[in-house]
Amino acid sequence: MYPAAFEYHAPNSVQDALGLLGRLKDDAKVLAGGHSLIPMMKLRLAQPKHLIDLRKVPGLAGIREDGGMIAIGAMTTHWQVESSSLVKGKCPILSEAASVIGDPQVRNLGTLGGSLAHADPAADLPAAAIALGVELVCEGPKGRRTVKADDWFKGLMQTALREDELLVEIRVPVWPSGTGGCYMKFPHPASRFAVVGVGAVVTVDGKGVCSKASVGVTGAGTRAVRAKGVEAGLQGKKLDAATIEAAAQKAAEGVDVQADLQGSVEYKSHLCRVFARRSIEAAVKRAQG
Ligand SMILES: Cc1cc2nc3c(=O)[nH]c(=O)nc-3n(C[C@H](O)[C@H](O)[C@H](O)COP(=O)(O)OP(=O)(O)OC[C@H]3O[C@@H](n4cnc5c(N)ncnc54)[C@H](O)[C@@H]3O)c2cc1C
């Protein structure tokens, strides 16, 4: 299947890209790694008249430490996130989530910004982004603004990004020592997308008491969400098996679980609870070194 005809643009600065977006409006789509947009165009689920390719725009890819945060350019590929020693050292759950996306071809072309802008309900990175509490930096005609991961995912493939904006950077807070994280998913056997995926980050003190817990769930509903009930069940408590199990029971609360070809609401809710428990158990082990 071939996409409908479109005009291709290759701007060489963010300003040029924003100028094109402002001029072409709804008729245009931004192209990053193309691993979600091009399949959609081939299926004629998207038929933009113009494609604005970001690959020649300098400064949109790369990973650096900046003021207690890890700053990752939107055009940084999944493979670069997966293999970065800075990301692996400071926020390993992000590397872990990137490493289980699709296959090497997808990870070498797909981008962090593309995944978060696309907001596929079965994507892996949204759960890790929520668990880590990342900030998303958008640039538009009026300058830059920052959106918290909690406010980013609005609905099925809908985000807080405005039509005239680009997602330019993802800023990841560095968690304190005594923190461990884990991203785990039940992958669809064919596509590898998450039927359910859970990202968990916990900080544990010397007595095994949880001072902070952050949990994101993807796959089961129309958008990735924070599992607030699970977090409340962990914070301030000694993280033994019974506490983790009881907290994980709340993992499907607040998720608009959808029945589809991959499972019933009951089955997917069950997967949320199972993967929340497994992900938290692994995060606690890692926090305790
Ligand atoms: C075979 C296959 C298997 C896959 N398996 C998985 C998987 O297991 N897990 C998973 O999470 N994902 C999976 N994916 C999706 C993959 O991660 C995509 O790369 C990703 O979702 C989109 O990133 P991209 O850079 O390719 O974006 P594109 O496809 O280029 O763009 C996606 C959307 O985001 C918009 N966009 C992109 N970048 C920006 C930006 N900087 N600012 C504003 N808007 C932007 C585009 O306009 C478009 O609407 C798979 C894809 C394929 C083809």
Other CB atoms within 10 A of residue 260 CB: 13
Residue 96 Cβ inside 6 Å of ligand 1? The answer reads no
Q: Which atom of ligand 1 is nearest to the CA of 29?
A: 47
- The amino acid that residue 30 corresponds to is V
3-state SS, residue 225: strand
Structure tokens at 120: 């596929």
The domain defined by 7-53 folds into 3.30.43
CB 125 within 8 A of CB 98: yes
Structure tokens at 266: 């009951």
Instruction: Quote the ligand 1 centre to 111 CA distance (angstroms).
Output: 6
Instruction: Quote the ligand 1 centre to 33 CA distance (angstroms).
Output: 6
Strand order in the sheet with 225-226: 179-187, 194-204, 210-218, 225-226
Same fold, 7-53 and 63-173: no
Q: Domain coordinates of the chain in residue numbers?
A: 7-53, 63-173, 179-287
The domain defined by 63-173 folds into 3.30.465
Residue by residue, pLDDT tens for the chain (289 residues) are 899 999 999 999 999 999 999 999 999 999 999 999 999 999 999 999 999 999 999 999 999 999 889 999 999 999 999 999 999 999 999 999 999 999 999 999 999 999 999 999 999 999 999 999 999 999 999 999 999 999 999 999 999 999 999 999 999 999 999 999 999 999 999 889 999 999 999 999 988 899 999 999 999 999 999 999 999 999 999 999 999 999 999 999 999 999 998 899 999 999 999 999 999 999 999 999 8
Other CB atoms within 10 A of residue 164 CB: 14
Characterize the bridge pairing of strands 50-53 and 7-9: parallel
Q: For 150-231, where are the E strands, in sequence order? A: 153-155, 158-159, 166-173, 179-187, 194-204, 210-218, 225-226
Whether the model clears a pTM of 0.85, i.e. scores above it, the answer is yes
Residue 29 Cβ inside 6 Å of ligand 1? The answer reads yes
Q: Which atom of ligand 1 is nearest to the CA of 123?
A: 11
Measured between alpha carbons, how far is 206 from 185 in angstroms, rounded to an integer?
29
Question: Which of the four CATH numbers 3.90.1300.10, 3.40.50.720, 3.90.180.10, 3.30.390.50 does domain 179-287 have?
Answer: 3.30.390.50
